[in-house]
A and B are shown apart, each in its own frame.
Chain A
Amino acid sequence: MCTLEKRGDLFLLTLTGDGEHRFHPDTIATILSLLEQAKSQSTRGSILITTANGKFFSNGFDLAWAQTAGSITGAANRLHQMVESFKPVVAALLDLPMPTIAALNGHAAAAGLMLALSHDYVFMRKDRGVLYMSEVDIGLSMPDYFSALVRAKIGTSAARRELLLSGKKIRGEEAVGLGIVDSAAYDSEEGVVEASVRLGEKLAAKKWSGEVYASIRKSLYPELCGILGLEARVFATPKL
């Protein structure tokens, strides 16, 4: 389902297998636990790179699981459960005491795209993979912390609208143009991962204090932190 490996300074979180990597409550619990593991093992210079295998980064919540609840109310409850349990994953990433990089091997939709956007840097492929907020097409309203994350990370009104209100499947070049991702210069899964590793190694060499890094990151997103229940303040001893 997902694995965490440590290679030198880099923690590599991988959504494994060839499927859509949809977020079922079990997947969510696993990801959360792996993030907690990375946090507990972090040192100066630690970096997280998150990627996946196959065609999809992640296609969002496991809507099929919600539907097997058998009733409309049951399905709504299951969806609600996934929305609530995913919130701590976004919080854990915002709080992670190390720079984070999402290396998109393929499509990222809905909650899958939110997972990507919760990282400090997002790289995607030029040739394949789209970003897609499917909610408006499916008729699902947006969880408040999803919109807050989009508002926090994406500066222009036009880009936010393209992402949330257009039903567009946004390809690499356009995503860069809209300021949603940092780079879409790679023509293969390996290319994206390599670029993320290169950036990761460069950032690792700075040997930053992870606590300070996380506190500066959170200070950029006070509203989102409020919704996620994250404390923005930190009391660090600077090396003056």
Chain B
Amino acid sequence: MCTLEKRGDLFHLTLTGDDEHRFHPDTITSVLSLLEQAKSQSTKGSVLITTGHGKFFSNGFDLAWAQSAGHGAIERMHQMVKSFKPVLAALLDLPMPTIAALNGHAAASGLMFALSHDYVFMRKDRGVLYMSEVDIGLPVPDYFSALVVAKVGSGIARRELLLSGKKLKGEDAVALGIVDSAAHDSAEGVVEATVSLGESLAAKKWNGEVYASIRRSLYPELCRMLELTVNNLATHNL
């Protein structure tokens, strides 16, 4: 389902297997627990790189699991929406730079998962970003919109992301300021580029607590919604 490996300074969080890596309550619990593990093992210079195998980074919540409950479908949706919030909070709070290396498609909560990282790299040739909610007829959870507003600056880009039902390819995503880069023609290319970035960030040997606090200070509204405290008392090395 998902694994965490440490290679030098870099933590690699991988959504394994050739499927859509949909977020089922069990997946969500695993991802959360692996993020907590990375946090507990973090040191100066730690970096997180998150990626997936196959065609999909993640296609969002496990709607099939929700539907199999019949009348209980809405309840299961709410459960997933609620339990996913701590995953975003954990990423916003992680005491190290975070990089999402999109091997493939990222949709709905899968895209929110990617956007919760400090850097997002995707493929040029394959993979789209897609907020499916408007097409399916699902309202967007408040913290999803807050994340989009926090991370995506232009009003037009936010509309293209949330209100157009468009499947955004790499080049468009870069132009809209949603991802940092879509320059690579293979999943390996994306991972290599993120490892390269990760190593140059690791070399700074930053204090992770300070890094996380500066990151949180950029997104006060989002942090409030995720119940993260923005301010903190850090010891400066002045």
Interface residues of A (CB under 8 A from B): 99, 120-121, 152-156, 179, 182, 206, 208-209, 212-213, 215-217, 219-220, 222, 232-240
Contact = CB atoms under 8 A, between A and B. Distances in A.
Contacts of A233: 139, 142
Nearest to A219: B145
Nearest to B164: A203
B226 to A, nearest CB: 14
A154 B155 contact: yes
Given A219-B139, A220-B162, A179 B133 contact: no
A240 B155 contact: no
Given A208-B135, A240-B66, A240-B67, A216 B140 contact: yes
B73 interface: yes
18 contacts: A120-B159, A121-B159, A153-B155, A155-B152, A155-B153, A155-B157, A206-B134, A206-B135, A208-B137, A215-B139, A219-B142, A219-B145, A222-B149, A236-B138, A238-B74, A238-B138, A240-B136, A240-B138
Interface in B189-238: 221
Interface of B: 63, 66-67, 73-74, 77, 133-140, 142, 144-146, 148-149, 152-159, 162-163, 165, 221
Nearest to B162: A216
Nearest to B139: A215
A232 B142 contact: yes
Sorted nearest first, the 7 A-B pairs with minimum C-beta distance are A155-B153, A219-B145, A155-B154, A153-B155, A238-B138, A209-B137, A215-B139
User: Most chain-B Cβ atoms within 10 A of its Cβ — which of A154, A179, A219?
Assistant: A219
A183 B83 CA distance: 40
Given A153-B155, A220-B149, 18 more contacts: A154-B154, A155-B152, A155-B153, A155-B155, A179-B156, A208-B135, A212-B138, A213-B163, A216-B140, A217-B163, A219-B145, A220-B158, A220-B162, A222-B221, A238-B77, A238-B137, A239-B137, A240-B66
A216 B157 contact: no
A30 to B, nearest CB: 28
Contacts of B155: 152-155, 179
